[in-house]
Chains A and B, each alone.
Chain A
Amino acid sequence: GAVVSQHPSRVICKSGTSVKIECRSLDFQATTMFWYRQFPKQSLMLMATSNEGSKATYEQGVEKDKFLINHASLTLSTLTVTSAHPEDSSFYICSAREVYTGELFFGEGSRLTVL
């Protein structure tokens, strides 16, 4: 089946630094990708919709200047957490929507720990 790869799977950074997380569709094209955040023992919360070649659409309450999203190609979206703080520590998960069938595929997630 289709594969969505996230990199890195785990990252630890110091407070105040920026971290980039990649989401790649390995064997299909995706004009739309989605970024979710999941805190321990909670559900997935949609952060933003990443659109290839245009600006991302953010959900209410998500700071677009803090969570920068770039979707420069049909197979790659990146999420950059800028000036990370301990409260940004979370599990970040992306999904990609196959351009022809509309099927959704999820990545394995990226665990961010901010010290």
Chain B
Amino acid sequence: GESVGLHLPTLSVQEGDNSIINCAYSNSASDYFIWYKQESGKGPQFIIDIRSNMDKRQGQRVTVLLNKTVKHLSLQIAATQPGDSAVYFCAENSVVNTGKLIFGQGTTLQVKP
């Protein structure tokens, strides 16, 4: 979702439901995108990535969708678990093949038992 000001948007889901977290990226030239999970007080943890020549990639319980036409990225988490509660960030490799990432604003995922 979109964020306003300094507040991270929050997605609240019931345990067992599917979650969809959205992200709008900024640079149409970005060729590589990553989703990270960040738990409180920790560094970002890699979840899944996708290159710009793909529009979908699946991992274990997670799927990333890329729509380059509207510069939109989404992360789908199947059968959401309490351990999935965290802040999720999308990141784009804004300068090709450098590792220099620009992070999106993040979404807090709250999983209700």
Q: Which residues of A approach B to under 8 Å, CB–CB?
A: 4, 6, 32, 34, 36, 41-46, 49, 91, 93, 95, 97, 102, 104, 106-109, 111
Q: Are the CB atoms of B98 and A42 closer together than 8 Å?
A: no
B102–A41 touching, CB < 8 Å: no
Q: Whole-angstrom distance from the CB of B28 to the nearest CB of chain A?
A: 19
A46–B34 Cα distance when bound, in Å, is 15
The answer to whether A109 touches B100, judged by C-beta atoms less than 8 angstroms apart, is no
Binding site for A on B (CB under 8 A): 6-8, 34, 36, 41-46, 89, 97-106
Secondary structure of the A side of the interface?
strand
Q: How far is the CA of A108 from the CA of B41 in the complex (A)?
A: 8
If A43-B89, A43-B105, A44-B89 touch, whether A108 touches B100 (CB-CB below 8 Å) is: no
Asked whether A43 and B103 contact (CB < 8 A) given A32-B98, A102-B97, the answer is yes
Dominant SS at the B interface?
A: loop
Query: Closest chain B residue to A44 by CB distance?
Result: B103
Complex: how many Å from CA A91 to CA B105? Answer: 16
Complex CA gap A46/B100 in Å reads: 8
B99 with A108: CB separation less than 8 A: no
With contact pairs A43-B106, A44-B89 given, residues A107 and B101 touching in the complex (Cβ less than 8 Å): no
B86 CB to nearest chain A CB (Å): 13
Can you spell out 11 A-B residue pairs with CB atoms less than 8 angstroms apart? Answer: A34-B101, A41-B7, A42-B6, A42-B105, A42-B106, A43-B105, A44-B44, A44-B103, A102-B97, A102-B99, A104-B99
Q: Flag if A34 contacts B43 (CB, 8 Å).
A: no
- Assess whether A41 is in contact with B6, with CB atoms less than 8 Å apart: yes
Q: How far is the CA of A41 from the CA of B5 in the complex (A)?
A: 11
B46: chain A residues at CB < 8 Å are 104, 106
Can you name 18 extra interface pairs (CB under 8 A) apart from A32-B99, A41-B6? A4-B43, A32-B98, A36-B103, A42-B6, A42-B105, A42-B106, A43-B106, A44-B89, A45-B103, A91-B41, A95-B99, A102-B99, A104-B99, A104-B101, A106-B36, A106-B43, A106-B46, A109-B42
